[in-house]
Structure 1
Amino acid sequence: MKKLFFTLILLSSVLSAQTKTDADFASRLKSTFSQSTDCVNDFEKVLKPAELQSLNTTLNAFEKKHLYKIVVITTPSVEPFQSFDEFAVDLDKFLSKDPRLDPTLLIVVSKTLRQIQVLSVDFIKYKLNAEDTQNIISTYSIPELKKGNYFKALEQASNEFMKKLQQQ
């Protein structure tokens, strides 16, 4: 998983470089990332193996039933990016290029940087707008993140996002 994370970071720096280099590196990254289509990628190692499996099982079952893919990624760093937001947006753009990885909702969390970012595709804005997202993160994730309980924070937020996405 460390290789995958560093490959993603390297991809991001390359994407802002020359076009020829972008194509070469993107093809290498695609072959690396295609091995992992999990909904939860814990690059920062903030989840225990059982917690990781539980969250993955929940999110995969939700995707199979409702066709909304929620992806959670933890990261200790955003190097070489200047900001957490820039990192999350570029990561979302990269993931959206592959239909197996394309998230409907992307949750990026960093314990080290004490940041969380949630990005969603436009077609769910009528079910889950920016205000709803902010309320879910503020109410369910932030209190648990402050306690250091990353699993509970991600599980509760994911459950609330799933409830919102299931509404007609």
Structure 2
Amino acid sequence: MNYKYLLICCLLLLGISCNQQKESFPYADTTYTSSVFPKPVGFINDFDSIFSEDEETKLRKLVKIHEAATTNQIAVVTINDLKAYDNIEKYSLDLANYWGVGQKDKNNGVLIAIHKPGRKLWIQNGDGLVDKLTDAETSYIIQSKIIPEFKRNDYFKGVYRGIEAIIKEVNKVEND
């Protein structure tokens, strides 16, 4: 039996509350200016208000269970202004570094950045996950899991399916 899945089941049975403690990114890079990036509020940072409170809770629970099982961190940010950036790829890379998404020694973070007004979306993965989650795989996840739901205006379902696909892909490589 796969012990990671056993751990996940145990965590669910124990009823871990997503609101018991604030998640944080302790390895933030302070070389970036805080005037460009918002301060993170946790793993789900819905600054553009596209999720309901219940949807945020469900997303938070999904990423917290994954982090508990693997130490990999997945963060989501919705933004309505890219500030001085002209593309979401560079913005999301700098934001992930500024926030310190992932474990510093493992660089195992993933940031899903959504700029709804500009119809832009990017999955930024840390160098520690490049072998497990390639750019081609993140592109596939965006095109096949997230965008079809976004086209139906179901942003929650798109992000949820995207996170599930990221988790599956990372675990697939670990279990091979």
Q: TM-score range by the shorter chain?
A: 0.7 to 0.9
Which of 68, 72, 75 in structure 2 is aligned with 1:68? 72
More helix by share: 1
CA distance in 2, matches of 1:71, 1:97: 7
In 2: Cα distance, 1:33 partner to 1:76 partner = 14
Mapped partners of 2:93, 2:86: distance in 1: 12
Paired positions, count: 140
Deviation sequence 1:65-102 (CA, Å, 0-9, x none) = 111100000001101323322321221220128959x7
1:151 aligns to 2:161 (yes or no): no
Q: Alignment partner of 1:145: what SS?
A: helix
Identity %: 21
Tell me, what secondary structure is at the counterpart of 1:116? strand
1:81 maps to 85
1:97 and 1:144, CA in 2 relative to 1: closer, same or farther beyond 3 A?
closer
Deviations, residues 105-138 of structure 1 (Å, cap 9, x unaligned) = 1110011110001111112122111111111111
Partner Cα separation in structure 1 for residue 101 and residue 144 of structure 2: 32
The 5 Å alignment of 1:3-82 reads 15=32, 33=39, 36=41, 38-82=42-86
TM-score, scaled relative to structure 1:
0.74
Q: With structure 2 as the length reference, what TM-score do the two structures score?
A: 0.71
Query: Do 2:48 and 2:79's aligned partners in 1 also have CA atoms closer than 8 Å?
Result: yes
Question: Which residue identity does 1:44 align to in structure 2?
Answer: D
Pick closer, same or farther for the CA change 1:159–1:97 going to 2, 3 Å.
Answer: closer
The aligned amino acid for 1:45 is: S
Aligned residue number for residue 12 of structure 2 = none
RMSD of aligned Cα (Å)? 2.5
- Which segment drifts farther, 66-75 or 90-99? 90-99
Aligned to 1:135: 140
- Stretches of structure 2 that go unaligned for 5 or more consecutive residues are 1-30
**Which portions of structure 1, spanning 4 or more consecutive aligned residues, are displaced by more than 6 angstroms?**
none
